[in-house]
Amino acid sequence: MSTFNLHAEYVNLPKYDADLYSDLSDLGWEYTCGRMSRSGMQVYDQIMTRLGVLDDGEHWNEDCYKDHGCDH
């Protein structure tokens, strides 16, 4: 599947879905509690950055990010 087709699937999704943001916030607790893998943290940070919740280079929980030795 080309990148164009992959992105085309998501064009009509709403930019704001309260339930989605609530679910992502709940998942953030897994991050904060240190139960996410480093790759999971990276993906979570990417999602939250793309949604505009985090700024580029920002992490959901800086202390947890540092404790896990992340470098993304």
**Least confident piece of the model among 7-16, 30-39, 51-60:** 7-16
Residue 35, token pair as written in the block: 């139960």
Query: Whole-prediction pTM value?
Result: 0.72
Chain mean pLDDT for the chain:
80
Query: How far is residue 61's CA from residue 22's CA, in Å, rounded to a whole number?
Result: 17
pLDDT tens digits along 2-25: 444 555 665 665 667 778 888 888
Q: Which residue has the higher pLDDT, 12 or 69?
A: 69
- 3-state secondary structure at position 2: coil
Q: CA of 30: how far to CAs of 38, 49, 65, in Å?
A: 12, 17, 12
Residue 19 lies in a domain: yes
Residue 38 lies in a domain: yes
Average pLDDT of span 47-57 = 89
Residue 72 lies in a domain: no
Number of folded domains that form the chain: 1
Give the pLDDT confidence score for residue 62 in this predicted structure.
77
Query: How far is residue 46's CA from residue 30's CA, in Å, rounded to a whole number?
Result: 16
